[in-house]
Amino acid sequence: MRKIRDTNLMILSSDDEDDCDYKPNSHRSYTKKPKSRSFITRTNPRQPKKPRVSGSRSRFSRDSPNLFEVGFPEEDFEELFSWSKVSADSGRSNVKELWVDKHKPHSLEELAVHKKKVEEVKSWFEERLKTTKGNLINNVVVINGKAGVGKSTTIQVIASHFGARLCEWNTPTPTIWQEHVHNTNTGIQYTSKLDEFVNFIEKIRKYGLIPSSSSEDAKPSIILLIDDLPMTNGRVAFERLQSCLLHLVRSTQLPTAILVSDYDEADSADHTARRLEQLQLSLENAGACKVSFNPITNNSIKKTLSRICRQEQCSVTDEQLDLIAKGSGGDIRHAITSLQLFCVKPDLVLNGSYSTPSYSYGKEDDIDALVSGISLLFGRDETLSLFHALGKFLHNKRETEVANAITPGDAFLVQENFSRLPLKMDAPEKVLCQAHGQARPVTDFLHENVLDFISDEAMDDAWHVSSYFSDSDLLLSSFRGMLARYNEAENVLQSAAASVAVRGVLFGNSHPSPPRWHAIRKPKLWQVEKSMLHNQKEIVRQRFIAYNGSSSCNVSDVATGYMPLLKWLEHRASGFEDNQALVYCNKTDGESCDRMGLDDKESDISDDEIEEW
Amino acid sequence: MAPLLQSSQPWVEKYRPKQIKDVAHQDEVVRVLTNTLETANCPHMLFYGPPGTGKTTTALAIAHQLYGPELYKSRVLELNASDDRGINVVRTKIKDFAAVAVGSGQRQGVYPCPPYKIIILDEADSMTEDAQNALRRTMETYSKVTRFFFICNYISRIIEPLASRCAKFRFKPLPEEIMSNRILHICNEEGLTLETEALSTLSSVSQGDLRRAITYLQGAARLFGSSISSKDLISVSGAIPREVTEAIYAACKNGDFDLANKEVNDVIAEGYPVSQMLAQLFEVVVEVDDISDEQKARICKSLATADKCLVDGADEYLQLLDVVSNTMRSLCNMPQEFSYDI
Amino acid sequence: MLWVDKYRPKTLDQVIVHQETAENLKKLVTEQDCPHLLFYGPSGSGKKTLIMALLRQIFGTSAEKVKVENRTWKIDAGSRTIDLELTTLSSTNHVELSPSDAGFQDRYIVQEIIKEMAKNRPIDTKGKKGYKVLVLNEVDKLSREAQHSLRRTMEKYSASCRLILCCNSSSKVTEAIRSRCLNVRINAPKEEQIVKVLEFIGKKEGLQLPPGFAARVADKSNRSLRRAILSFETCRVQQYPFSSNQAIPPMDWEEYVSEICSDIMREQSPKRLFQVRGKLYELLINCIPPEIILKKLLSELLKKLDEELKHEVCHWAAYYEHRMRMGQKAIFHLEAFVAKFMSIYKAFLIATFG
């Protein structure tokens, strides 16, 4: 029997009938089951969360198809893990287990996450766990970060550190259609995962957790962990989720951690990303605490990897470790898995069919082959967030002087006033590509924010930048209304327009304002366009009022002629009317900018970190 | 009811020649086509030239003369820009029509009725390139039983492969005498009297476009009665009175921006079409004696750019003001480069 | 009901301004031969009024009984069906619509809808005309393809359907259409004519006009009759009895543009540009067309600039307005113009005053 990791996990089953059927089992640490919805325990993060369980635990399977249990008997384990069978020659001690699980950190020191962050979270929990009153308003911490950065591991380790019991919700896989059909055939009802989640939260909130009578502590401390939010499709579902979480934030008695994975960061044209941000913002406004986990540094990853290597007794050189660490992009789970794969078949890479050069030429080429091989196999698609990209463009960091002497005949010489210092970043197009920036949103964002970054004296720069935006807009509109067959050309134009806008900003801003923190605002233009359309619809409706109704008036005539008069007449007739669509307000600047919680992304990164870019 | 209809018919339609020999001035074309009528042997045709010179008239006349009213519907397919002529239509409708077999040529009474069909594509320059390309193949495949007549204003808009398969006929703008003859003929028919200069005014104002001349004539007749003067024709045609153009030019020569601005505002307020104003300014500038070639060249350049911008849809006032400003700077020898330009 | 509509002449006889044109039109239609017509001229000069009066002349009072219809047309364009929604005003003998409402699908309106309408000939009872009239608004906004389609339709269906086209500037209407229509130029009324109309309205409303008051209103109206009458009514609402030096309130958006102008002239910097951008947004939200903003801004600036700068500024205004037409987001180009002006002006100030 394998040793199950000794975390204080609790499984809460779904219904009452299970209570009578309760059989103590030495594998698990059950406690008495209060009435709350069931959820999954997670043994293997990489495993797809199977809704079906193995036959021997059938009593759960009937009612909660998403239960996934800890401690399988050998055969089940084999069956489920067969895909990861490692060759027996490798001589590892237990080949069937994934290193990610095997080498899970058990103590705070083993965590690869940045110490400061761990401290932060730990002290937060400490505070909550100490005071038993639970009068604190903010009992919820929202932890966000990319996948594999150590969020849930941290919570688990902290929980075991404090001896608290961890009550976990793992988001189950949404049921796909084939599955649903299959399930209905076998009589299992479809339950919306969102419903389950909402019910679970409600129950937790209302009833708390009934402490186990069999446990030793008088009052065991409990930490609630919500690992990843259920998928919501559509505004209604999202709002349900939001209100449920807000209730939780406001009224929970248990210290709770909500983990949110950021998938691709903020192309704000993307609905789901935007909704997630909105959700996080509203949770924060309701009083939750927010911690951002950054991608794990290469050094930490390397340290962890070398530790694992020692334990597993495999020999990996330092450069190779370095490469693996670099290729993982801050995701330690990825790095460990890559390491495992690498150790399984170190010659896999060199025999690989990828474009590795022949390695028989010498040691150097070995490394090169390794490099290309590894980066191909283990490399991670570096996605840069849109905001990072925008920040790079706007801050416009340059070398302080021209690094190389210009060899005559080599470089492209420009006039004095056109020359600029070399950029401190990759080619802007590459940065754009990594950020998956689309031309329109990028241009709008840059337009909204660039004026903050230009020094106040440099009016000419402001004009240059504006003129490039004007050019970019022309390029983007060239194919207005054309047919889809011009798609090829359209893509070229889009990329050209994005390039023009970005390079225009970089070139035009030759006298940047002294660097200080600026929030990057969402383009106000989008709001303006929405209001304009709305007003236009209004006006179109009014159009037929003119000419005694026997004819119609042009929209522009109505807007410039009739509307002011009508407004004036109304104004007179009814005292003061705040017909907000038609009133000109002399807003002072600064008030009207639409600051969203997107700013907070920036706020987490101090000026020092900005330098890194 | 029938008399009502006839009098409300535009004279352009009413006096449209039904026979080829009546088509004015396009001798070469007429000759070839008359030959066609006799031998009933006809290549693919491409008629091109400025508007109002008789292209559609000729094509329709030929078609009518070849087939007569009875067979016309089945042997002639007419498609113009108001019909959908995308690539789908080319592949289906046109191809299907072209593929229909035709009986052997036998004379149906007066009409030669040759053993092929005719497809008339009017305003062919507005067909997309893809549609034109698709047409090539059809032309080749069915050339035995179908002839294509293309009518367009600019031959450059017809793709080379199509144009090379056709016999090209250029329709020239009509000279003054020909137009005058025709106009006088219509005047006789309709019982109008023209003042002495009205005839020459009409031909200058219509610029070789017979359709336009007849339309102006009809318009003037309706608006001003059966005695028509030069002034009436000018106001109907939308030409700008010479005084206005000269006032603008004088203001430019003067060098006072505000005065010129006022003149421009007046032009806009009067509603004169600015593209017309540019054309007339152009004539004035070209003819004037006392400025250098370089100045003229500069002015014409700004006229051309303004015209292009107008076609793109820019605002008339701003473009005219820009032209006037450029003209002023050329005429008064102000520095050409902006001193505050970067 | 606003005075603009209340005192609008309903028949060609009642027309005060453009009397000559009205007479000619009357002659035109009484002789039962109405060709296609194109009315063009600046805004507020009375084109629509004349068209409605003309229809009344042709069809009698039935032309005034219109109903607004919101129809959806299903158009089969080759591989796909397009749904077009269009609002039309129709009476028994005429239909009025704005094809440019359909945006870049206006071509289909012209090809299908007009053909359909043109095909249905009205039943001709004695004395009535044997044709229907189709009034198209804003034809200068039609796309090129739509105008191409229109010209052939005009030729083909001229027996059963007459088109009356209305636009602001005939430069944007293609040659082909202009040559198939009788072009009627409606110029902006002269100030004396406007004064006459204002006095007429004043008399009808029983108002006392101090001397010169009407002239001042006419002067401020920039030769737009609609504008003048609207201002007149605003003055009435603002204060009556009129005082002889009463201020004529400008339109609020015009005042706002003047503010922008003074802002620009006072300070030229990126910060100021950002503030101006906010104000431009306000104007855009209220659906003031961007080219009107630009023109008004230019005219305000020209009042205050030195001679040498005027040429340059108007060149850039024309340049950016043209780009604005071809682009999609007006604010980029408006802002570029303002930035360029600031840049020029700043350089000028530095050069002149050091």
ipTM (interface pTM) = 0.89
Out of A481, A550, A581, name the one closest to residue C52 (CB): A550
Out of C24, C295, C348, name the one closest to residue B318 (CB): C295
Q: How confident is the model at residue C261 (pLDDT cuts 50, 70, 90)?
A: very high
Say whether pLDDT at A508 is over 50. Answer: yes
Distance CA B267, CA A523 (A): 41
On whether residue C337 sits in a domain, the answer given is yes
Most C-contacting residue of B222, B267, B331 (CB-CB within 10 A), to test interface: B222
Q: Are residues C75 and C94 in the same domain?
A: yes
- Closest-CA distance, C123 to chain A, in angstroms, reads 23
What average pLDDT does range C168-174 have in this prediction?
A: 86
Q: Are residues C72 and C13 in the same domain?
A: yes
* A214-223, A293-302, C126-135, C179-188: least confident range: A214-223
Chain A residues inside the 8 Å CB shell of C335: 466, 469
Between C167 and A62, where is the model more confident? C167
What mean pLDDT is reported for chain A?
66
Most A-contacting residue of C287, C291, C319 (CB-CB within 10 A), to test interface: C287
Distances (CA, A) of B244 to B248, B264, B265: 6, 10, 12
pLDDT of residue C317: 95
> Quick check: A564 and A549 in contact, CB under 8 A?
no
Mapping DSSP to helix (H, G, I), strand (E, B) and coil, where does residue C167 land?
strand
Question: Which of C147, C170, C185 is a domain's end point?
Answer: C185
Say whether pLDDT at C216 is over 70. Answer: yes
Chain B residues inside the 8 Å CB shell of C180: 211, 215
Q: Which residue of C has its CA nearest to B270?
A: C187
Per-window interface: C 252-271 vs A, CB < 8 A: 252-253, 256, 268-271
Chain B residues inside the 8 Å CB shell of C312: 338, 340-341
Say whether pLDDT at A355 is over 80. Answer: no
Contact A462 C342 (CB under 8 A): yes
Chain C residues inside the 8 Å CB shell of A474: 323, 326-327
Contact C323 A474 (CB under 8 A): yes
Bridge partner list, B45: B149, B167
On whether residue C9 sits in a domain, the answer given is yes
Distance CA A353, CA C125 (A): 87
The count of domains in chain C is: 3
Chain A residues inside the 8 Å CB shell of C55: none
pLDDT of residue A314: 80
Q: Are residues C227 and C103 in the same domain?
A: no
On whether residue C244 sits in a domain, the answer given is no
Distance CA A98, CA A86 (A): 10
Q: Are residues C159 and C225 in the same domain?
A: no
pLDDT of residue B342: 38
Out of A463, A474, A554, name the one closest to residue C343 (CB): A463
What average pLDDT does range A403-429 have in this prediction?
A: 69
Does C322 reach chain A within 8 Å, measured CB to CB? no
Chains in contact with A, where contact requires at least 3 CB pairs less than 8 Å apart:
C
List average pLDDT for each run of 10 residues in chain B, which is 342 residues long: 46 84 78 78 87 86 84 83 67 81 69 82 82 84 87 89 88 84 89 86 83 84 82 83 91 90 92 91 91 92 94 90 93 70 42
pLDDT of residue A330: 77
Does A564 reach chain C within 8 Å, measured CB to CB? yes
* A-C contacts at Cβ under 8 angstroms: 184
The angle, 0 to 180 degrees and rounded to 10, between the axes of the packed helices B55-75 and B27-39 is 20
What average pLDDT does range A180-198 have in this prediction?
A: 71
Q: Are residues C143 and C210 in the same domain?
A: no
Q: Which residue of C has its CA nearest to A560?
A: C288
> Quick check: B257 and B328 in contact, CB under 8 A?
yes
pLDDT of residue B48: 92
Q: Are residues C215 and C335 in the same domain?
A: no
String of DSSP letters for A102-158: HT---SGGG--S-HHHHHHHHHHHHHHHH-SS---S--EEEEEE-TTSSHHHHHHHH
What average pLDDT does range C241-257 have in this prediction?
A: 85
Between A314 and B268, where is the model more confident? B268
Question: Which of C150, C167, C185 is a domain's end point?
Answer: C185
Contact A564 C285 (CB under 8 A): no
Chain B residues inside the 8 Å CB shell of C302: 261
Q: Are residues C171 and C42 in the same domain?
A: yes
Chain A residues inside the 8 Å CB shell of C44: 557, 561
Chains in contact with C, where contact requires at least 3 CB pairs less than 8 Å apart:
A, B
Say whether pLDDT at A506 is over 70. Answer: yes
Q: How confident is the model at residue C164 (pLDDT cuts 50, 70, 90)?
A: very high
> Quick check: A512 and A453 in contact, CB under 8 A?
yes
Q: Are residues C257 and C211 in the same domain?
A: no
Q: Are residues C89 and C225 in the same domain?
A: no
Chain A residues inside the 8 Å CB shell of C43: 554, 556-557
On whether residue C40 sits in a domain, the answer given is yes
Q: Are residues C60 and C166 in the same domain?
A: yes
Chain A residues inside the 8 Å CB shell of C262: none
- Gap between the terminal Cα atoms of chain A: 50
Say whether pLDDT at C257 is over 60. Answer: yes
Chain C residues inside the 8 Å CB shell of B328: 311
Chain C residues inside the 8 Å CB shell of A440: none
- The contacts of residue A53 (CB under 8 Å, 6+ apart) are A60, A61, A65, A67, A68, A69
On whether residue C247 sits in a domain, the answer given is no
pLDDT of residue A58: 36
String of DSSP letters for B235-266: HHHTPPPHHHHHHHHHHHHHT-HHHHHHHHHH
Chain C residues inside the 8 Å CB shell of B6: none
pLDDT of residue C342: 94
On whether residue C245 sits in a domain, the answer given is no
Contact B338 C159 (CB under 8 A): no
Out of C287, C289, C329, name the one closest to residue A525 (CB): C329
Amino acid at C229: I
Question: Which of C165, C185, C205 is a domain's end point?
Answer: C185
Chain C residues inside the 8 Å CB shell of B214: none
pLDDT of residue A351: 37
Helical H segments across A148-189, by residue range: 151-162, 177-185
Out of B212, B269, B275, name the one closest to residue C42 (CB): B269
Q: How confident is the model at residue C258 (pLDDT cuts 50, 70, 90)?
A: very high
Domain range for residue C230?
191-238
From A555, A409, A437, A583, select the one nearest A498 (Cα to Cα).
A437
Say whether pLDDT at A593 is over 70. Answer: no
Out of C275, C288, C328, name the one closest to residue A480 (CB): C328
Three-class DSSP labels, A11-46: CCCCCCHHHHCCCCCCCCCCCCCCCCCCCCCCCCCC
Strands (E) across chain C are located at 37-40, 67-77, 80-90, 94-97, 132-136, 161-167, 182-185
Contact C344 B313 (CB under 8 A): no
Which CATH number characterizes residue C178's domain? 3.40.50.300
Between A563 and B283, where is the model more confident? B283
Most C-contacting residue of A551, A562, A583, A586 (CB-CB within 10 A), to test interface: A551
Distance CA B74, CA B102 (A): 10
Q: How confident is the model at residue C174 (pLDDT cuts 50, 70, 90)?
A: confident
- Closest-CA distance, B92 to chain C, in angstroms, reads 11
What average pLDDT does range A262-276 have in this prediction?
A: 56
Q: How confident is the model at residue C273 (pLDDT cuts 50, 70, 90)?
A: very high
Per-window interface: C 276-315 vs B, CB < 8 A: 291, 294-295, 298, 302, 307-312, 314-315
Does C319 reach chain A within 8 Å, measured CB to CB? no
Which CATH number characterizes residue C329's domain? 1.20.272.10
Out of B52, B313, B325, name the one closest to residue C311 (CB): B325
Q: Which residue of C has its CA nearest to B319?
A: C318
Q: Are residues C93 and C137 in the same domain?
A: yes
- The contacts of residue C137 (CB under 8 Å, 6+ apart) are A552, A554, C96, C97, C98, C99, C100, C166
Say whether pLDDT at C217 is over 50. Answer: yes
Say whether pLDDT at A485 is over 50. Answer: no
Per-window interface: C 61-100 vs A, CB < 8 A: 63-64, 66, 68, 87, 89, 96, 98
On whether residue C47 sits in a domain, the answer given is yes
Between B99 and A382, where is the model more confident? B99
What average pLDDT does range A181-188 have in this prediction?
A: 68
Say whether pLDDT at C61 is over 80. Answer: yes
Give the domains, in start order, of chain A with CATH numbers. Answer: 2-39+47-210+219-293 (3.40.50.300), 298-375 (no CATH), 386-522+605-612 (no CATH), 526-590 (no CATH)
pLDDT of residue A406: 53
On whether residue C30 sits in a domain, the answer given is yes
Q: Are residues C34 and C125 in the same domain?
A: yes
pLDDT of residue C36: 84
3-state helix, strand, coil in chain A (%, to 5): 50, 5, 45
> Quick check: A32 and A212 in contact, CB under 8 A?
yes
pLDDT of residue B263: 93
* B-C contacts at Cβ under 8 angstroms: 183
Strands (E) across B98-206 are located at 117-121, 146-152, 167-170, 193-194
